[in-house]
Amino acid sequence: VRLFGIDAQEMPRRGKKRRPGQPFAEPATNALNKKAKGKAVRLNQADLDGYNRPIVEIWLNDKNLNLEMVEEGWAEAYKGKTKRIAMVPYFKAEKKAREKKVGIWKLKNYESPREYRRKTK
């Protein structure tokens, strides 16, 4: 699945199209695993991506884990087109995380995942 509403730092890529990862990529993955791995979660599907993979919000009881990832500075709010679910809470969460300078927002030379992907295509 793909996670709705967030754009997280890119992990290293191996193989033919080798590239280094971005700062916070592995810690963000670890943070999400700590929140959800081995737990009974609910997936709220928003859409399908271009490869027919579900785009989902992950809920643990009444907590939206996607939104928590943005609030804690592990990811930025997704800036592309979305369907069915409002992005306003994600943009507000990103603004607060930026103001607090947590996670990716404490990096001096922050580069968005979108820009990183463009540069490393």
Please identify every residue annotated as catalytic.
2, 10, 53
Q: Which long-range contacts (CB under 8 A, 24 or more apart) does 13-22 make?
A: 19/120, 22/111, 22/113, 22/116
- Residue the block writes with tokens 């929140």: 35
- Residue the block writes with tokens 């695993």: 33
Using the CB atoms, write b or e for 67-84: b if 16+ within 10 Å.
Answer: bbbbbbbbbbbbeeeeee
